[in-house]
Every structure is written in structure tokens, then in C-alpha cells.
Amino acid sequence: MNVPTTPKILACLAAAAVLLGGTAAADRLPSPASALTRTVSSTDEAPDREALSRADGVSHQAAAVTEAERRAVLDYWTVERMAAAQPISMATDLVEDALQLSDRAERSEAEPQAAPHPDSTGERWTSGGLVTRTTGKVFLTMDGRDFTCSASVVDSANRSTLVTAGHCAKDGRGSWAKNWAFVPGYADGASPHGRYTARDLLVAPQWERDADDSYDFAMAVLNTRDGRTVQGAVGAQRIAFDTWTEDRVRDGVQVYTFGYPAASPFDGRDLHYCSGRTTPDTGGTTANGVGCTMTQGSSGGPWFSGFDTETGRGTVSSVVSFKYADDRSTQYGPRLGSAARHVFEHAERL
């Protein structure tokens, strides 16, 4: 981890009671990636997985590869375990964390919105569209504890790749997640499109080596379900690695962010969103922030630029990553730039 400054929440070490947010040196500012927005690509024969896992610029962990491993993950996630899983979170101590989880407000039925707001700070998404299928809830085990996160299906050559937060795949310099499963379109406990297990998890070396919040992103490659890829079942969103130019960082980018917040006052049952223009982080990372009250559990959810509220389609440019403990009203997401593109291009070939 980098030199500790203000404590952060959302991005965390799941096995620890407290995580102090790291700072990234200014000279680590990643250069804007060359213009690249993923669209449907051809499905050439996949290269050797072992060779890809040893590639520079990528940290890789095999997950449920064999049929027995896939079945074991699905069997692990009983209805009871899924309901009991806690959002990956950070609290001042475990007692406070338990109180937050047990003191959740009763679920409120949001009034349907005539149209989504461009400056929402955290409402239920009631407008349908592709985002309700491609965004899903993640269930995982980290150091013996069960957690939840969020993730999104993105268009890839293998039609099986998700983007999520780094801390939803690996505990910084600590353990890799186990029992990793994705439920696209999760809604009030239902799995309308089935459950998919991960066969590969990938993060940037800067996350594995330093838990650097500027690189808090991950890719997960899923197994098929009944012979069908997740993208074939629910569709996919575009992903871009050229959004965060210096000019756009300075001027701000209109984004819509999505996830399944589960810590009070939310309960993790429904898809929520925030929207607004971004501002650069001044705490030492290269992340960008947007006004948002979504809590833990939304980690890993997609940040969209160029989002169409009528169709629910957009371009994933970041993911929900962290908040500062002294500013619960701003949510931060890392830049998906050249480092993320490198991880993604390896993931889609697995």
C-alpha cells in the first residue's frame, strides 16, 4: 500500500477491520491510452492460457476451471449464503460494521421516475434497458468470509469477460478471492439469467504489488452456463480506455454509475445509480470522483460515459472503487487507461 493518508471505504482489505487509503505519486499519472473503444471482435483461436498468465503487466489467478470446481462454487452459494454475504466494506471496527449491517433501513419502494436524473446521488434504477441485464451482483469468499460486490459484462472476443473492482478479485497484496460467482440482472434475490462462475481473475500488478487505488480494477473471465456465454445470454456494454484525457479530467465527464449498495441505508436487493460530472481526486490518486451516496456492495459497479438513459447502453470507463471516510458523499473510480486495456486484452483471450 502507498503512504497512508485519509482512511477510505469501499476499496478495502476484506480481512482487515481498517484500511487506510493509499496515495499514488503524481508522476504515476498514467498517460491517456490511444483511442480505443471495444466493439464486437472476431473470435480467433485462444492462445495458450498458461503463457498469457505469465505475461508482463498482468497478475492472474485461475478460479473454477474444472467441471468439479464449477459445480462446487455453485453448490457453495446456497440461498442462505447469498442472503448472508456482507458487502465488502471497511469500518472503524468489526462491531461497528456489524451494527451497520444489522441496522439497515427497511426497503423503500421508490416511485418510478419519469426519466433518470443527470445529477442523482443514489436512486433505484427503474428505467430498464440493457444495463439491468449486463450489471450484476458478485458473490465471493475472501479469507474465509463471504462478501458481495458488483460487476458488468463488457464486449469481448471471448464473450465472457466482466470488469469489476480490483478489491473484488484480490485483497490488495493479500489473498485472491474464491467461490467467485456472478448473477447478471440480480433483482430482489432473484437470478433471472442464472449464475456464472469465474474461471480466471486478472488485476494489474500495481494493485497486487502496492494495492494502489489508481489501479483498483479487475477483469473476470466466466465459464459458460449450459454451453452459453454470459454475453450471449444478456448482451454486453462497450468498454473504453481513452476517456480520461487531461482535458476531460480537468473539465469533468458526465457519468452514470451503477451498483448494488448493501450497507445502510441500502439493502443490496436492487440496482441503484448515481450520475453527475466528475472531478479529479486531490488525495493522491489518479481516480475521479462524482457525488454519490451509494455504499459498500456497489464496489466494482460500472461507470458509464456516453450513457443513453432510454436504452441503458453506454461505455464503461471506470468502476466504483472507494470513498474517503471524511467525505461519504463522493464516490471515486480509477481511470481505465493503458494498464486496464492491457489486462482486458489478456482476459478476452482466455
With a pLDDT cut of 90, the percent of the chain lying above it is 74
Q: What is the mean pLDDT of the chain?
A: 84
Report how far Cα 268 is from the mean position of its chain's Cα atoms. Answer: 15
- The answer to whether 122 and 113 are in contact (CB under 8 A) is no
Closest CA to 288 of 233, 339, 258, 245: 245
- The answer to whether 316 and 336 are in contact (CB under 8 A) is yes
Q: Which long-range contacts (CB under 8 A, 24 or more apart) does 107-114 make?
A: 107/267, 107/269, 107/270
Per-residue pLDDT at 7: 58
Sheet holding 327-333, edge to edge: 8-9, 322-324, 327-333, 288-291, 279-280
142-165 pLDDT, tens digit each: 999 999 999 999 999 999 999 999
Per-residue pLDDT at 253: 98
What is the C-alpha separation between 123 and 141, in angstroms, rounded? 28
With a pLDDT cut of 70, the percent of the chain lying above it is 77
| pLDDT over 80 (residue 5) | no
The residue with greater pLDDT, 302 or 99, is: 302
What is the C-alpha separation between 63 and 325, in angstroms, rounded? 32
- The answer to whether 185 and 137 are in contact (CB under 8 A) is no
What is the C-alpha separation between 19 and 7, in angstroms, rounded? 6
What is the C-alpha separation between 37 and 58, in angstroms, rounded? 20
Mean pLDDT, residues 199-228: 97
Q: Which residue spans within the chain are E strands per DSSP?
A: 8-9, 59-62, 86-87, 123-124, 135-142, 145-153, 161-164, 178-184, 196-203, 218-222, 238-239, 254-259, 272-277, 279-280, 288-291, 302-308, 313-319, 322-324, 327-333
Per-residue pLDDT at 88: 85
Q: 280: buried, middle or exposed (CB in 10 Å: 19+, 13-18, 0-12)?
A: middle
Per-residue pLDDT at 345: 96
Residue 158 has, within 13 A of its CA and on its CB side, a CA count of 22
Mean pLDDT, residues 230-235: 98
Q: Which grid coordinates are listed for 343? A: 489486462
Q: Which residue spans within 154-248 are E strands per DSSP?
A: 161-164, 178-184, 196-203, 218-222, 238-239
Mean pLDDT, residues 63-71: 97
The least confident of 117-121, 132-136, 342-346 is: 117-121
| pLDDT over 60 (residue 291) | yes
